[in-house]
């Protein structure tokens, strides 16, 4: 049953975190939509699987906000692909979002692991 | 937009397919077979259509798509009811078009800055107050003398550039009937300061403007095109101005008309050339000739306030230096106290602006009200449509459409109508505004306005379109959707409470229409009565059949003493012309805009009391020619009243009353104050005439005195003959031109028909009366249509009830009166509200009215009664059709 295994370890992405993941992924270089999805999946050891129904609206939304820019490139096997790259504004946004994320994670773990706090 | 949109769609398609292919290929690489890989990839991918849809949402144009949908739907609906659509668009086009046209004229004469670089820097230097200023004034606009201008140029520090200019009329003909064209006197800095470039040759500059300069002319672009067909070889040729050859040095750039909005110039001459054109030889050195307007560009950092402070500081020294030697002692003190100030000149100066601003704003207000009344009609129509579409809305609400969505849909319909109306209005407006401008044009005042549509006009039209669509669209849309789906779907739709409520709104609309039309009708009647008062008043003379000939004797270069002889000779010969009943010389023709005033007093009274008097210098026969009757005494007599005999004068009744307190003034004496030109003189009164208007028809006749032309030692190089004739003016003008050519072919002459000249002074009143009458009638018509619509609707809705009443024995007459009573209630409510509004707003028009009180009860009553009468007439038709209802048919409909 491939369908069920596909959702086995899947974590529902929090609102807004997909944007952050896409920007972070594009930091390593321009990439097309499929590549972004693959990279997120690989870098999260298959835990995070991006739904195409969320990926493309997110990419297009980020493009409208001018955090990423798109252009058509011809790939190695002569295929036309739409490639996204991070813009300067996008890089700036990524930095601020990343620090907000870190704060959130620290706050969350502080609440979820109260024992640690009392030890400290 | 749509093609770009389609492109994006295709790209998204391609992007998603590439994704699928790459996913499939990866699976093939991992060892799956091709068909399974493709199927898995697609399954993993999800619904491609849904993904496309949600991605498109991210583009953020959903609202545009919805708007497009609404527009398409609205257009389809409007096409389905072409009658309604046509009426709506047409009435909006008329309403918005009239408003736009009036606004266009206001924009052209009032709002727009001069078409020169950086107009906001321009400021005019003029007297803060014109008290104690003596001499000759040759402009409608407050102006300065040449010595004052030269001192300003030498002393001021507030302006980076400063120049002087004066308007005039130049005669291009060499003798015979004059060809007068609008001319300009300009200082050397003029063209450079305004940033004007030459279209051919060069423009005048400082080198051309030195005392004793040769006359050089710059032509305006339109004149160059008209007169020389744009021939570049005119540069270096000569043009004859007042019979003097003047070299043409160049042509000013296209679109430059000078500083005066509404007026243009054909020829510009340097100020220094003034002495070459005879007449008032000493205008350059004269401190009593006021003919120049001084304008400058403020230096960076200077404001009107700081420039005024600076000008006030230099004023005392400046006026001490320029005090004319011949100034009468009594006026010296006020002259030295004169002060200069800086005034905004970014929009130039304009006589039409001063004359027409108030009436145009008023007309814009009136046209605005007409538009509101038209909107009320449209709202009524839309309400009727909405009730017809109630089922549709109920169904849509029932299947889950939000109310907002339906309101938006209905508003889109209104907006589409308004936009179509506005588009038609823009075309209509250019015709209407041209008509309006040609209305303002008069014989001696050509009006040249740039009527180009600018952003202000288009913005105004767009604003009106949105405003009207809101006015007529919102209430029907909100009303139409305030229904509960099951009432409508279950009920029959007739006689339910929602329907009655809507009829209530329609009633309110009609009451408002009646009220507003009443206000407009009152206004129209007030203006019409005011105009009638002006046209029918007795001015103290009969202008019909009087021809005025202004004769230019300058080319003859007569000695001052010889001028009187020449004038008297020409008057004699004019009298002898066939068809001329009488003729005379007059220095000033009444209601021509010229004036001459001095103070007089009599030593007979115990205390010397100064009376300010309007003067004229006339020959014998003047009063007979103009038809002003004598009250006492005699007319001048060339044989008796000579330069050697004692000075005599004729006074009017008001002056006689003012000087001597009534009684026969003949034989008594009065003294005229000294002027820059003449010493104090005492006159003996030989005659007394009835009062007559002097400057304008609106004024009350004031004290007036007439001096004998036959005793006038000085007199200018002009003569002015007034002739009474029963023949057509053109015939007499032809004869007179022949006669003058016989005297000397170099004499120039210009003719004016006195009636026409006086009619021209009432242009403003005529414009206001006609347009307000037109708008008033239009408003009444629209209101009647609205009233008819509502009454007819009510009758249709009450068919049932009326049928029952008739079945129970109500007579036809009773039914008619039932309906008329309803109409009467609406009209009465409207009239009452309208009367209150009219009384509140009529005083806005007060300043434009002549001898009519803004609250004139007769006018209010007349407007109310006529509106009530046509209102009842309009409701009689539906009332009659109500009385023809067959009870059986009416009941069977249920």
Does residue B29 belong to the interface with chain A, where contact is any CB pair within 8 Å?
A: no
B49 CB-near residues (< 8 Å, 6+ apart) = none
pLDDT of residue B2: 64
Does residue B55 belong to the interface with chain A, where contact is any CB pair within 8 Å?
A: yes
Q: Both B741 and B805 in a single domain?
A: no
Nearest to B838 by CA among B368, B522, B527, B526: B522
Q: What is the rounded CA–CA span in Å between residue B851 and residue B848?
A: 10
Distances (CA, A) of B197 to A76, B204, B610: 63, 11, 53
Residue A116 in this model has a pLDDT that exceeds 70: no
Q: Both B513 and B585 in a single domain?
A: no
Q: What is the rounded CA–CA span in Å between residue B796 and residue B792?
A: 6
Contact call for B51 and A56, based on CB within 8 A? yes
- Does residue B366 belong to any structural domain of this protein? yes
pLDDT of residue B764: 87
**CA angle, residues B241, B247, B250, in degrees to nearest 5:** 110
- Torsion, CA B655, CA B660, CA B663, CA B665, rounded to 10: -70
Give exposure, B823-845, as e/b (b: 16+ Cβ within 10 Å): beebbebbbebbbebbeeebeeb
- Our CA-based measurement puts residue A4 at a distance from the nearest CA of chain B, in whole angstroms, of 12
Q: Both B383 and B518 in a single domain?
A: yes
Q: Both B340 and B440 in a single domain?
A: no
Mean model confidence pLDDT for chain A: 81
Does residue B49 belong to the interface with chain A, where contact is any CB pair within 8 Å?
A: no
Beta strand B597-601 pairing with B176-177:
unpaired
Distances (CA, A) of B30 to A47, A77, B17, B24, B27: 20, 18, 20, 10, 5
Burial group, residue B882, by CB count within 10 angstroms (0-12, 13-18, 19+) = buried
Contact call for A82 and B57, based on CB within 8 A? no
Does residue B47 belong to the interface with chain A, where contact is any CB pair within 8 Å?
A: yes
Domain boundary at B15, B31, B60, which?
A: B60
First-to-final CA distance of chain A: 47
- Our CA-based measurement puts residue B409 at a distance from the nearest CA of chain A, in whole angstroms, of 28
Please tell me which residue of chain A has the smallest CA distance to B57. Answer: A57
Does residue A41 belong to the interface with chain B, where contact is any CB pair within 8 Å?
A: no
Reduce the DSSP state of residue A6 to 3 states and report it: helix
pLDDT of residue B204: 93
pLDDT of residue A2: 38
Contact call for B21 and A57, based on CB within 8 A? no
Q: Both B739 and B865 in a single domain?
A: no
- Please list every residue in chain B whose beta carbon sits closer than 8 Å to the beta carbon of residue A81: 15, 18, 22
Strand partners, B752: B548
Domain boundary at B346, B363, B391, which?
A: B346
Does residue B64 belong to the interface with chain A, where contact is any CB pair within 8 Å?
A: no
Q: Both B183 and B163 in a single domain?
A: yes
Contact at 8 Å (CB) between B126 and B466?
no
Length of chain A: 120
pLDDT of residue B694: 93
Does residue B11 belong to the interface with chain A, where contact is any CB pair within 8 Å?
A: yes
Does residue A80 belong to the interface with chain B, where contact is any CB pair within 8 Å?
A: yes
Report pLDDT digits (tens) over B362-387.
999 999 999 999 999 888 888 888 87
- Please list every residue in chain A whose beta carbon sits closer than 8 Å to the beta carbon of residue B15: 32-33, 56, 81-82
Does residue A53 belong to the interface with chain B, where contact is any CB pair within 8 Å?
A: yes
Contact at 8 Å (CB) between B762 and B535?
yes
Does residue B90 belong to the interface with chain A, where contact is any CB pair within 8 Å?
A: no
- Does residue B756 belong to any structural domain of this protein? no
Distances (CA, A) of B435 to A60, B431, B440, B848: 55, 6, 9, 22
Architecture of domain A2-119: Orthogonal Bundle (1.10)
Q: Both B212 and B273 in a single domain?
A: yes
Strand partners, B823: none
- Please list every residue in chain B whose beta carbon sits closer than 8 Å to the beta carbon of residue A6: 44
- Please list every residue in chain A whose beta carbon sits closer than 8 Å to the beta carbon of residue B21: 79
Could you count the other beta carbons within 10 Å of the beta carbon of residue B479?
21
Does residue B61 belong to the interface with chain A, where contact is any CB pair within 8 Å?
A: no
- Please list every residue in chain B whose beta carbon sits closer than 8 Å to the beta carbon of residue A80: 14, 18
- Please list every residue in chain B whose beta carbon sits closer than 8 Å to the beta carbon of residue A33: 15, 19
Strand partners, B244: B241
Q: What is the rounded CA–CA span in Å between residue B102 and residue B100?
A: 6
Nearest to B224 by CA among B268, B167, B173: B268
Q: Both B300 and B365 in a single domain?
A: no
Does residue A73 belong to the interface with chain B, where contact is any CB pair within 8 Å?
A: no
Q: Both B681 and B795 in a single domain?
A: no
Does residue B13 belong to the interface with chain A, where contact is any CB pair within 8 Å?
A: no
Give exposure, B180-207, as e/b (b: 16+ Cβ within 10 Å): bbbbbbbbbbbbebbebebbbbebbeee
Could you count the other beta carbons within 10 Å of the beta carbon of residue B403?
16
Q: What is the rounded CA–CA span in Å between residue B468 and residue B420?
A: 12
- Does residue B113 belong to any structural domain of this protein? no
- Does residue B753 belong to any structural domain of this protein? no
- Our CA-based measurement puts residue B792 at a distance from the nearest CA of chain A, in whole angstroms, of 56
The residue extents of the domains of chain A are: 2-119
Residue A120 in this model has a pLDDT that exceeds 60: no
Does residue A78 belong to the interface with chain B, where contact is any CB pair within 8 Å?
A: no
In which domain, by residue range, is B804 found?
A: 354-536+763-892
Report pLDDT digits (tens) over B197-236.
999 999 999 999 888 888 899 999 999 999 999 999 999 9
Of B12, B18, B44, the CB nearest to A79: B18
Distances (CA, A) of A113 to A99, A104, A109, B547: 21, 14, 6, 111
- Please list every residue in chain A whose beta carbon sits closer than 8 Å to the beta carbon of residue B46: 51-53
Total structural domains within chain B: 4
User: In B49-121, at which residue ranges do the beta strands (DSSP E only) sit?
Assistant: none
Q: What is the rounded CA–CA span in Å between residue B580 and residue B547?
A: 10
Burial group, residue B771, by CB count within 10 angstroms (0-12, 13-18, 19+) = buried
Question: What secondary structure letter does DSSP report for B586?
Answer: B
Could you count the other beta carbons within 10 Å of the beta carbon of residue B58?
18
**CA angle, residues B879, B884, B886, in degrees to nearest 5:** 135
Nearest to B681 by CA among B599, B595, B622: B599
- Does residue B81 belong to any structural domain of this protein? no
Contact at 8 Å (CB) between B201 and B181?
no
Does residue A28 belong to the interface with chain B, where contact is any CB pair within 8 Å?
A: no
Nearest to B635 by CA among B653, B651, B623, B617: B623
pLDDT of residue A115: 62
Nearest to B784 by CA among B722, B669, B877, B846: B877
Q: What is the rounded CA–CA span in Å between residue B2 and residue B724?
A: 75
Q: Model pTM greater than 0.90?
A: no
Contact at 8 Å (CB) between B116 and B359?
no
- Does residue B82 belong to any structural domain of this protein? no
Nearest to B162 by CA among B133, B186, B197, B127: B186
Of B11, B19, B58, the CB nearest to A57: B58
- Torsion, CA B697, CA B698, CA B701, CA B702, rounded to 10: -120
- Does residue B879 belong to any structural domain of this protein? yes
Reduce the DSSP state of residue A44 to 3 states and report it: coil
- Does residue B102 belong to any structural domain of this protein? no
pLDDT along chain B (894 residues), means of 10: 76 89 89 88 85 80 77 88 87 91 88 86 91 78 91 94 92 87 93 94 91 90 93 94 91 91 91 78 83 94 95 94 86 90 90 85 92 90 81 79 82 91 91 86 70 84 89 83 65 47 77 94 94 93 94 85 89 94 94 86 80 93 96 94 93 93 90 86 95 91 93 81 94 94 91 91 89 92 88 83 86 90 92 94 85 91 94 89 82 63
- Please list every residue in chain A whose beta carbon sits closer than 8 Å to the beta carbon of residue B30: none
Q: Both B336 and B362 in a single domain?
A: no
Q: What is the rounded CA–CA span in Å between residue B279 and residue B273?
A: 13
Nearest to B66 by CA among B394, B418, B401, B405: B405
Of A51, A60, A72, the CB nearest to B55: A60
């Amino acid at each position: 049953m491939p369908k069920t295994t596909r959702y086995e370890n899947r974590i529902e992405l929090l609102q807004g975190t997909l944007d952050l993941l896409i920007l972070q992924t594009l930091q390593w270089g321009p990439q097309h939509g499929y590549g972004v999805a693959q990279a997120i999946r690989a870098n999260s050891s298959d835990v995070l699987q991006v739904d195409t129904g969320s990926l493309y609206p997110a990419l297009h939304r980020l493009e409208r906000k001018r955090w990423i820019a798109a252009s058509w490139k011809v790939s190695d096997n002569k295929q036309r692909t739409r490639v996204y790259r991070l813009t300067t504004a996008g890089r700036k946004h990524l930095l601020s979002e990343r620090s907000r994320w870190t704060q959130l994670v620290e706050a969350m773990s502080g609440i979820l692991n109260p024992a640690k706090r009392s030890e400290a | 937009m749509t093609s770009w949109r389609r492109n994006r769609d295709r790209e998204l398609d391609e992007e998603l397919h590439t994704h699928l292919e790459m996913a499939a290929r990866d699976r093939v690489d991992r060892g799956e077979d091709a068909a399974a890989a493709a199927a898995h990839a697609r399954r993993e991918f999800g619904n491609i259509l849904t993904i496309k849809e949600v991605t498109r949402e991210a583009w953020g144009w959903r609202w545009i798509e919805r708007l497009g949908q609404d527009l398409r739907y609205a257009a389809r609906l409007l096409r389905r009811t072409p009658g309604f659509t046509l009426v709506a668009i047409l009435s909006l086009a008329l309403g918005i078009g009239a408003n736009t046209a009036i606004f266009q004229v206001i924009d052209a004469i009032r709002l727009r800055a001069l078409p020169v670089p950086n107009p906001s820097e321009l400021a005019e230097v003029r007297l803060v107050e014109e008290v104690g200023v003596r001499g000759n004034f040759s402009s409608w606009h407050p102006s300065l003398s040449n010595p004052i201008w030269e001192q300003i140029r030498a002393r001021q520090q507030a302006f980076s550039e400063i120049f002087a200019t004066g308007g005039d009329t130049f005669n291009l003909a060499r003798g015979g009937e004059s060809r007068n064209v609008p001319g300009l006197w300009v200082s050397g800095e003029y063209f450079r300061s305004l940033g004007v470039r030459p279209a051919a040759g060069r423009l005048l500059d400082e080198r051309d403007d030195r005392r004793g300069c040769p006359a050089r002319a710059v032509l305006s672009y339109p004149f160059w095109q008209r007169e020389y067909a744009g021939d570049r070889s005119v540069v270096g040729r000569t043009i004859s101005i007042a019979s003097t050859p003047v070299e043409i040095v160049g042509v000013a750039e296209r679109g430059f008309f000078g500083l005066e909005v509404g007026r243009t110039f054909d020829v510009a001459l340097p100020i220094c050339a003034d002495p070459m054109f005879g007449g008032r030889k000493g205008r350059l050195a004269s401190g009593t000739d006021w003919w120049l307007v001084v304008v400058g560009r403020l230096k960076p950092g200077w404001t009107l306030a700081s420039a005024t402070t600076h000008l006030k500081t230099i004023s005392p020294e400046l006026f001490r230096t320029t005090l004319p030697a011949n100034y009468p002692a009594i006026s010296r003190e006020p002259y030295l106290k004169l002060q200069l100030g800086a005034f905004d000149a970014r929009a130039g100066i304009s006589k039409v602006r001063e004359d027409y601003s108030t009436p145009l704003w008023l007309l814009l207000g009136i046209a605005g009200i007409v538009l509101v009344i038209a909107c009320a009609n449209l709202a009524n129509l839309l309400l009727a449509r909405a009730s017809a579409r109630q089922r549709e809305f109920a169904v849509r609400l029932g299947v889950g459409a939000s109310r907002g969505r339906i309101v938006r849909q209905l508003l889109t319909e209104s907006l589409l109508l308004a936009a179509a109306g506005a588009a038609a209005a823009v075309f209509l407006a250019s015709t209407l505004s041209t008509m309006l401008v040609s209305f303002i044009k008069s014989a001696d005042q050509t009006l040249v306005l740039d009527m180009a549509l600018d952003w202000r006009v288009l913005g105004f039209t767009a604003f009106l379109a949105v405003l009207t669509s809101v006015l007529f669209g919102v209430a029907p849309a909100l009303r139409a959707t305030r229904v509960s789906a099951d009432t409508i779907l279950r009920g029959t739709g007739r006689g339910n409470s929602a329907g009655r409520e809507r009829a209530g709104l329609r009633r309110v609309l009609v009451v408002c229409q009646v009220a507003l039309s009443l206000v407009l009708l009152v206004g129209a009647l007030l203006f019409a009565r005011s105009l009638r008062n002006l046209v029918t008043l007795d001015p103290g003379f009969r202008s019909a059949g009087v021809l005025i000939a202004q004769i230019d004797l300058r080319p003859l270069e007569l000695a001052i003493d010889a001028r009187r002889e020449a004038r008297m000779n020409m008057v004699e010969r004019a009298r002898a012309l066939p068809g001329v009943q009488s003729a005379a010389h007059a220095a000033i023709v009444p209601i021509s805009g010229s004036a001459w005033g001095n103070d007089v007093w009599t030593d007979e009274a115990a205390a010397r009391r100064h009376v300010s008097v309007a003067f004229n210098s006339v020959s014998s026969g003047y009063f007979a020619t103009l038809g002003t009757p004598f009250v006492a005494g005699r007319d001048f007599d060339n044989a008796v009243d000579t330069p050697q005999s004692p000075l005599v004068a004729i006074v009017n009744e008001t002056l006689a009353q003012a000087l001597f307190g009534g009684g026969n003034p003949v034989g008594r004496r009065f003294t005229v104050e000294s002027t820059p030109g003449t010493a104090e003189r005492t006159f003996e009164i030989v005659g007394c005439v009835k009062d007559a208007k002097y400057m304008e028809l609106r004024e009350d006749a004031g004290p007036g005195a007439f001096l004998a032309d036959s005793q006038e030692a000085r007199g200018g190089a002009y003569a002015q003959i007034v002739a009474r004739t029963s023949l057509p003016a053109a015939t007499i003008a032809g004869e007179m031109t022949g006669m003058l050519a016989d005297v000397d072919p170099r004499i120039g002459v210009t003719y004016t028909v006195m009636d026409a000249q006086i009619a021209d002074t009432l242009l403003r009143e005529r414009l206001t009366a006609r347009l307000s009458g037109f708008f008033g009638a239009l408003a009444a018509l629209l209101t009647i249509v609205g009233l008819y619509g509502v009454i007819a609707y009510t009758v249709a809705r009450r068919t049932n009830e009326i049928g029952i009443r008739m079945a129970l024995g109500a007579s036809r007459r009773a039914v008619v009166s039932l309906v008329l009573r309803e109409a009467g209630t609406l009209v009465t409510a409207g009239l009452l509200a309208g009367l209150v509004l009219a009384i509140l707003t009529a005083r806005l028009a007060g300043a434009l009215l002549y001898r009519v009180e803004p609250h004139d009860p007769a006018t209010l009553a007349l407007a109310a009664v006529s509106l009530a009468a046509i209102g009842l007439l309009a409701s009689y038709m539906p009332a009659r059709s109500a009385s023809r209802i067959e009870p059986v048919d009416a009941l069977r409909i249920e």
